[in-house]
Amino acid sequence: MSKTTIKTLYEMKQQGEKITVLTAYDYSFAKLIDAQKIDMILVGDSLGMVIQGHSSTLPVQMDDIVYHTKTVTRACQNSLVIADLPFMSYTSIENANCNAARLMQEGEAEMVKLEGGSEQITIVAQLTQQGVPVCAHLGLQPQSVHKLGGYRVQGREKAQAEQMREDALKLQDAGASALVLECIPTELAATISQSLEIPTIGIGAGRDCDGQVLVLYDMLGISQHAPKFSHNFLQSAGSIQAAIADFSNAVKTQQFPSEQHSFF
C-alpha cells in the first residue's frame, strides 16, 4: 500500500471500497495505526476529553492540536493525517487561514477539519483556494454541544434533514474534499453519501457512509463513557495491533457498524 492521498479516497469511493479512519494523538499509537495501514488518522479535538480530561472539546487550544499533530505525523508513512481546527479557531477568513497554515506547516497535517454547514461555505472556499484540503463535518457537532443541548442525534426532523442535505452539497461545491457525518439516522447518511462525489466518513451514521471513524480510546475500551456507536475491538482481539486490524477488517467487509451501533 502506498501513502493515502485525497486522490486515493476519491478512487476508493468510486470503487466502493470502505475507508478506515482512527484518531491518534501521539507518536506511539500513530505508529501502530499506520503499521496496520489504516487509511486516515484524525488528530481530533476529542483529545480534550480522552487526553486532557475535559467534559467537552471546547477547552482545546490551537497549540494543543499543533503539538499533537506534530507527534502523529512523524509516525505516518501510510495514513493520511487530518487535524481538527478547534473551537473558535476559524471564525474569520484571517484566523482560519492562519490556523490552517499552522496545522500544515508546523504540524505537517495533510488536511484540516472544521465543523458547520452553510455558515462555513466562505471559509471552506477560501481555504481550498489557498491549497488547503478541507474535511467538513455535519450532524452532531461537538464544538456546538451547548447550542445543541447536549450530545444528541441530529437530522431526525424533516427540515433539519433537508438542511443537512443542502449543506453537504454546498460544502462539496465550496471545495471540501471529504465530509464527516456524526450521529445522524442511517437513511439520511445514505442519501447524503449517494448524492456526493466526495467521500463521507461516518461516526454513528450507519454502514452506508463511504468510510468509518472511531476515537481510538473508544475502540480500545479505555474511554470512561464509550458512545453507543462505538465497539470495543480490544476485548476479543488480545492486543492493540490486532484490535486495529480487526477494526479495519470489520469496516472493509461492512460488518461494522451494525444496527446496534446506528441510529434510525
The string of pLDDT tens digits covering residues 97-145 is: 999 999 999 999 999 999 999 999 999 999 999 999 999 999 999 999 9
Domain of 201: which CATH number?
3.20.20.60
201, 212 contact by CB (below 8 A): yes
Which of 236, 219, 238, 237 has the alpha carbon at shortest distance from 227? 219
Residues 6+ apart with CB under 8 A from 250: 231, 233, 256
H or E segment at 84? Answer: strand 80-84
Domain presence at residue 67: yes
209, 12 contact by CB (below 8 A): no
Residue type, 61: Q
Tally of domains within the chain: 1
Which of 151, 150, 212 has the alpha carbon at shortest distance from 180? 212
* Residue 85 pLDDT level (bands cut at 50, 70, 90): very high
Domain that holds residue 240: 6-261
Is 108 a catalytic site residue? no
Domain presence at residue 1: no
Q: At CA 141, angle to CA 76 and CA 49, rounded to 5?
A: 60
What's the whole-number mean pLDDT along residues 20-40? 98
Domain presence at residue 113: yes
Q: Which three cell numbers stand for residue 156?
A: 431526525
Q: Which residue has the higher pLDDT, 104 or 225?
A: 104
Q: Given the residues 182, 187, 197, 259, select the one marked as catalytic.
A: 182
pLDDT(225) > 90: no
CA dist., res. 69 & res. 190, Å (int)? 31
* Residue 1 pLDDT level (bands cut at 50, 70, 90): low
Report phi then psi at 22, rounded to 5: -130, 155
Residue 148: the pLDDT is: 87
